[in-house]
Chains A and B, each alone.
Chain A
Amino acid sequence: MIPINYYLATAIILYAVGMYCLAAKRNMIKLIIAIEILTSAANLNMISISSHAKPGAVDPLGHVFVVMSIVIGACVVAVALTIALYAYKHYGTLDVRELRRLRW
């Protein structure tokens, strides 16, 4: 069985990647993906911890939470994509630098 530290390290790396993506990327879709990555980092963390809670057993609590979180994440992405769609209709671009007032 893979020790928990590997999972934790991966989660932290995922979190860092997400943050970098948020800070550096200019495309709306990529920003939305960045948020997804951030949420996935947290979800992975949760799942791996719940699986290592007791040897040989899995804590259902973490799983419940993660399922919920995935559902909510989907909603957030849906809203985000809708807004991105409207932004595209307005400006004909997905580049956030092209939007007039957003300063990042």
Chain B
Amino acid sequence: MFTWPINLLVIFAITTPLVYTLGVKASIKKLVDVWAVIGFILSAISFYPLYLKVSSEKVLIHYWVGIQFRGVALFEIDMLSIFMAGLFIFIGLLTAIYSTRYMEHDTRHGEYYALLLLMVSGMVGVAFAGDFFTLFIFWEVMCLTSYVLVAFRKEQWEPIEAGFKYLVMSSAGSATMLFAMSILYGIVGSLNFAYMHKALSESVTPWSMISLALIVVGFGVKAAVTPFHTWLPDAHPAAPSSISAMLSGVVIKTGVYGLIRVMMLLFTPESYHWHTAIAILAVLSMTTGNLMALLQSDLKRLLAFSSIGHIGYIIFGLSIATVYGLTGSLFHVLNHALGKALLFLCSGAFLLAAGTRDLNQLAGIGRKMKITGFTFIVGSLALAGVPPLNGFQSEFMLVLAGLQVGASRNLWYLFSALMLINILFSVGYYLRIIQVVTLHEPSESVSRVKEAPKPMLFSMVLIAILCILIGIYPGPFVNLANQAAQSVLSVESFVKLIIH
């Protein structure tokens, strides 16, 4: 129905509560955790043939209701979708493995894994969507589950507050997007991306400009682009760390995906000239994110602000709108997802061991938890853009693309310089957390911590190894990002499958 990766995720999500009850009845403690991990693994395995098919056919069409109905209810899968969806499933898998031990002390595992699986299926669906109808349904599946997951520990005050704030802002964003979709529907008479591309690129009207603005707001809220970012620094720290890793690592990337898809396909840069506006948003995001991160003393809050900064870098790549810019942008999506997921997983391990997120109390914990400390260093340096780790590779690509385009649009020299300065700034706080966590003398509160359990270490070490690997040998990963960027730019091949 929904192609196998999504089907499996949904099936496992539905069966998870049953398995949980079974596990409780049969008193097999870890049954549901293993079930969820199996779900992710199967989904990842079924994802591979899809990848092969798409890489040979470029664009794949799949009507998930089974019939062709005016171009709605369809998946249109190209390399961009594959790139993003693969990332979502991969991080989801690692998070699930991590959760098997991290969530040990919580109850309601059945709900937890069901929500996690559903959230990933929602994200994959967003990446596959070929029309606004599909996009909206999966978008809301993702949003709803993420609201509940943020507020999962409902017995504490912080998740409840942050969850409510997140819910209000995010659903206002969704409603704005819905409003934009209704206007677009009025202009085009269809909800299909291909038809919209045709109608919108032919004539630029005030209505289409309004809907562009509204849709940027809608996706911008989810992606936490600066004026709409205020929910993020509350929501991401409040969630359980495994969910923070999902939220900061990949959920905000769906917003970025939406922006890239809509801006490049529907509101083509040739007719709408949004480069400068997006670039200004990007520079604002990175500057606010990095400056605010400098001031934080809560580890997870600091990481959340740094996510805003990185979203700025990614959006900057979109504002360039060339192959290099988009390649850098997508490559940075990958690198930031890995790095930020790693850091949140590490901070979760620290939280589990020491019971605090406060940097001053965490001082020196990396000396006690050597492997976690090491992966923490790798993640921080990767995000700081220090070679030879992965963050550097994409950041240099972004700046490079900015400078290349500067020859024709001179403003981009300035923006690129600002981005370089931002990267430099960001090193300041990454270095600070590294120093506090791994170099300080261990403080009172961490004097008796032990190394994290094995499943958690597995996820963290695997990501850390990937960070190093991509940094040293980026070739194949850049190629993937490049294929995705190419498919974004080859609008015609995307459109002609629908409109013959």
Contact = CB atoms under 8 A, between A and B. Distances in A.
B32 to A, nearest CB: 22
For the complex of A and B, 7 pairs with smallest distance between CB atoms: A38-B175, A45-B182, A42-B178, A49-B186, A42-B179, A46-B182, A72-B140
Contacts of A80: 147, 164, 167-168, 171
Contacts of B374: none
B283 to A, nearest CB: 24
A69 B191 contact: no
8 contacts: A15-B179, A38-B176, A43-B182, A61-B72, A69-B178, A72-B137, A75-B144, A76-B174
B391 interface: no
Contact of B168 (A35, A42, A59, A64): A35
Contacts, number: 119
A46 B144 contact: no
Interface string A74-104: 0110011001101100110000100111111
Interface in A31-47: 31-32, 34-35, 38-39, 41-43, 45-46
B168 A65 contact: no
A83 to B, nearest CB: 5
A87 B140 contact: no
Interface of B: 70, 72, 133, 136-137, 140, 143-144, 147-148, 151, 154, 157-158, 160-165, 167-168, 171-172, 174-176, 178-179, 181-183, 185-186, 189-191, 230, 234
Q: Does more than half of chain B's interface fall in helix, strand or loop, or is it mixed?
A: helix
Contact of B136 (A68, A75, A103): A68
Contacts of B70: 61
Nearest to A14: B179
Contacts of B161: 87, 99-102
B233 to A, nearest CB: 10
B339 to A, nearest CB: 27
B399 to A, nearest CB: 34
Given A46-B185, A86-B160, A65 B144 contact: no
Contact of B234 (A49, A79, A102): A102
Given A35-B171, A45-B179, A99-B161, A65 B147 contact: no
Given A31-B168, A42-B175, A87 B160 contact: yes
Nearest to A50: B185
A100 B157 contact: yes
Given A41-B179, A42-B178, A65-B191, A76 B167 contact: yes
Nearest to A46: B182
Nearest to B168: A31
B151 A86 contact: yes
Given A35-B171, A64-B133, A68-B133, A102 B165 contact: yes
Contacts of B190: 61
